[in-house]
Chains A and B, each alone.
Chain A
Amino acid sequence: MCRSQYQELNMDIIQSSETNLRETRTTNRLKKFFDSPASLNLMYLPALLLFAVFIYYPITQGIKISFTNWNGYSAHYSFVGLEKYRYMFNDMRSYKVIVNTLIYGLGSTLFQNILGLAYAMLLNSKLKGQGIVRTIVYFPVIVAPIIMGYVWYFIFQYNGGALNDIMIALGKEPVDWLGNGPRAVWLITFANTFQYMGVAMVVYLAGLQAIPKEYLEAADVDGASGFYKFFHITLPLLMPAITVSIVLNIIEGLKLFDVIISMTNGGPGYASHSLSTMMSDLFFAGQDAGFAAALGNLMFVIISLFGITSLKFLRRKEVDL
């Protein structure tokens, strides 16, 4: 319709035919473009724009800032090359914080998955009221991690903490549970495990329910032991669920932030800081944006390394049904 009108116009006005022809061609091309599947790619432009502005651009700026001595607010700073990185690797705190981050990440992953799988196997055995147990175990997932950390603080704190109430009732000396660095790190790992093991449990429960009953029945007929059935049938078939759960837990665990803030705020001293809490501390309290950015880049490398390798390693172990 549109095109034929244009063609009539072209015949009438000979002088401007040249430009009109070009317009026709453009509208044709536009129409062709919007008819082709390629035009649908426009639909992901908003997403790419957001990624570019709030993730990719900051990543490049982060690399730039890590080479400066910027303090986080002033307009003046100068480039200091690799000095911040040298400083980072000479600072003993960095190693402490890296070890803590790995304990938070890998420790929570280990406990969450072992307990989550054990709970899922228990609930999968058709217990009455299993729905209630699932509701209770999953409940902490919906609580803000910063608040859940405070709840644990009420239990572990020295003065009038619930755990010390038991110690006193047993006639023992109260203990400053969070006052000892290494112990605080493990208690935070425990708190994180407690909060998110419900996720692993639910994922494994779905995985277990997807295993065909015939496989286990066939093994029963052959007289296989429970032990054998678990390691040779259940576990291999559960591999996709295990992959997802472990990779998600590792990535989330290495990022741990809120619970640390509410339970110890990185203390005592720097003993329970993770890379993320240390970085925010350096940036806002320490006013050393260069160091904080360098630490951020290190964290980026560590998490990518763990995320990608764990994914590759586990994908190889998956069994096709």
Chain B
Amino acid sequence: MRWQIDQFTGRFGKYCRRMLSYLTALLISVLHLIPFYILINLALKTRQDTSSKWLPPDYLYLNNFTDVWTQSHLGTALLNDLIITTCTVALVVFVGVLAAYPLARYPTRWNNAVYTLSISTLIVPALTVLVPLYKLIVDLRGISTYWAMVLVLTTFFLPTVIFLYTGFIRTIPRELDEAALIDGCNRYEIFFRIVFPLLKPVTASVIIIIMLGVWNDYRFSLFLLQKRSVQTVPLVLSQFFSQFQNNLPLAAAGSLLSMIPMALLYLFLQKYFVSGLAEGAVKG
């Protein structure tokens, strides 16, 4: 009898705890959606509408989106973002994977020192070298050019890429290289024909991580992209925002539009967004 009661309260307790978990999960989801809910409400209202931001409008008004698109030249900004992101991602992956291979495969004392030196640049915040870096780019006539922006971004994302690739290459068995060497491959063929194709999964994560960082970059763009014609989306929107501070619906519409490209990628490729980072963290 006693046993049966225990069983019952046990099961009931478990059920209650389960319901509580679901309620908490629901609450968390709602709380985390609030900022975006407010943003959408704001973007759909006219400037004159001063009703509570918590209530959706009872009319349909999409002019904010078309206005912000034409007034802030978002199309050009998107194209600039696309050019800079594509070039940076391609360059950083190429340079990074080249560097990671010898550092992971031949850990001599000298190579380990190079590795430490590369990774320690992870903790150098870009802005601590803001003054001298800006001066350097001015001297190289690189202000408001794509190439300077791409090279600087590549350099500052390189430590992350080298870190992720060396970690991954170390997990590929060395015997594979040795077998290929015996079969007559030279060391470069081993890298390009044997190791490189095995790096596809980690490359997907690397591309996503870097793409996100470059696409959303503000601190470098703010200093290096001063001409309107080369500016990226975050920069254009921040200027637009300070210019039209009293027209919040317009700014909200711009913010919302700027989220769309990455949000779409995120929804379709979520696996890569989330897993690459977590795996790198746990294994690394």
Contacts and interface: CB of A to CB of B under 8 A. Distances in A.
A37 B50 contact: no
A165 B130 contact: no
Given A123-B25, A146-B238, A303-B123, A59 B98 contact: no
B116 to A, nearest CB: 12
B182 interface: no
B101 A138 contact: no
Interface in A176-199: 194, 199
Interface stretch (A17-25, A47-55, A90-98): A47-55
B54 A55 contact: no
B66 interface: no
B282 A165 contact: no
A2 interface: no
Interface residues of A, number: 95
Given A50-B95, A137-B28, A162 B273 contact: no
Contact of A136 (B29, B123, B127): B29
B276 to A, nearest CB: 10
A233 interface: no
A61 interface: yes
A47 B32 contact: no
Interface string B67-80: 00000000000000
B105 interface: yes
A76 to B, nearest CB: 14
Interface string A201-234: 0110111001000000000000000000000000
Contact of B102 (A43, A58, A59, A210): A43
Given A206-B282, A283-B134, A297 B54 contact: no
Given A65-B131, A125-B21, A150-B251, A143 B262 contact: yes
B219 interface: yes
B102 A244 contact: no
Interface in A157-186: 160-162, 165-166, 169
Interface string B179-218: 0000000111001000000000000000000001001101
Contacts of B215: 144
Overall SS of chain A's interface:
helix
Interface in A252-268: 254-255, 257-258, 261-262
B278 A205 contact: yes
Contacts of A207: 282
Would you list the 4 A-B pairs with minimal beta carbon distance, nearest first? A144-B216, A61-B132, A206-B278, A44-B99
Given A62-B128, A296-B127, 8 more contacts: A38-B106, A47-B158, A133-B25, A136-B32, A137-B28, A162-B52, A258-B219, A299-B127
Interface of A: 34-35, 37-41, 43-44, 46-48, 50-51, 53-55, 57-59, 61-62, 64-65, 72, 119, 122-123, 125, 127, 129-130, 132-148, 150-152, 154-155, 160-162, 165-166, 169, 194, 199, 202-203, 205-207, 210, 240-241, 244-245, 248, 251, 254-255, 257-258, 261-262, 276, 279-280, 283, 289, 292-293, 296-297, 299-300, 303-304, 307-308
12 contacts: A50-B95, A51-B117, A61-B135, A62-B131, A135-B267, A146-B218, A151-B38, A240-B282, A248-B281, A251-B122, A257-B127, A261-B238
